[in-house]
Amino acid sequence: MSARRPGEGRGVLYRLYSSRLRRSLTPETVPHHVAMMIDGNRRWARQAGFPTVAHGHRAGAAKMHEFLRWCDDLGIRVVSLYLLSNDNLRKRDSQELADLIEIIAELADELSREPGWRVQIVGRSDALPPALARVLQTAQERTASNTGLHVNLAVGYGGRGEIVDAVRSIIAKHDESGGSLEALAASLTPEQIGEHLYTGGLPDPDLVIRTSGEQRLSDFLLWQSAHSEFYFVEALGPDLREVDFLRAIRDYATRDRRYGS
């Protein structure tokens, strides 16, 4: 009789539990659009004793690639990842920011090579370093005709700025047609603003997930998440497990979405 390896029993139980969670879900109960706020990468790196937080950001990026595969396997059609905010661009240490920009560029290139996936960049490209902006644009163009999992990468993104940009776009378009401000004010609707957001044409997120136990939006998809469900995971970003993800989807499936009614 062979000896059982340490942790082998836990591995079997984990796989059984994951399978049970997955079987409890049906296509009708799975969200169409999931937004993910990956958080805790820096804390993870410090707790692990790494000399720089770049190790945490790299581990977080790898986890996001894995997370997208979980979503694709479950039949989720749109995923939005919050990778770099406008606040990050202004406030992060210069070396950390340089490392993060390199990691995001690598991730975008990798995702654009996944068969069938479509990458869309949401954010202000003019606020990004030119080299990163070019990589992101190439990733988007390379996948423009794909019809599989739609991946929004929020880079140089801010929810308040997005709303401002949408309103500016509406005003500019109205001005080109020769309309008056009075007419614009009378005709402006939430649907019109939604069409001019970076995510115009896509469904709003059904579920927003954030790791590391933090419970705030941090300027992410402010307009789009008005009726979203929220799920907060205690695990730090790189430690997120598939069972954590499946629990979030199971929890979502049990909620009664009232949309303000």
Q: What are the residue ranges spanned by the domains of the chain?
A: 31-158+205-253
Task: Let me know: does 106 contact 60? Beta carbons within 8 Å.
Answer: no
Instruction: Give the pLDDT score at 4.
Output: 45
Q: Where are the beta strands (DSSP E) in 106-258?
A: 118-122, 150-157, 207-210, 229-232
**Is 175 one of the annotated active-site residues of the chain?**
no
Q: How confident is the model at residue 238 (pLDDT cuts 50, 70, 90)?
A: very high
> Residue 203: pLDDT above 90?
yes
Who wins on pLDDT, 2 or 230?
A: 230
Paired with 218 in beta bridges are none
In the set 41, 88, 204, 206, the catalytic residue is: 88
Q: Where are the beta strands (DSSP E) in the chain?
A: 33-37, 78-85, 118-122, 150-157, 207-210, 229-232
Q: How confident is the model at residue 2 (pLDDT cuts 50, 70, 90)?
A: very low
In the set 39, 99, 204, 206, the catalytic residue is: 39
Pick the CATH number of 31-158+205-253 from 3.40.50.20, 1.10.10.10, 3.40.1180.10, 3.40.640.10: 3.40.1180.10
pLDDT over 70 percentage in the chain = 95
Paired with 240 in beta bridges are none
pTM of the model: 0.92
* Mean pLDDT value of segment 44-70: 97
- Residue 72 has, within 13 A of its CA and on its CB side, a CA count of 17
The CA distance from 107 to 234, in Å, is: 24
Task: Let me know: does 210 contact 224? Beta carbons within 8 Å.
Answer: no
**Is 239 one of the annotated active-site residues of the chain?**
no
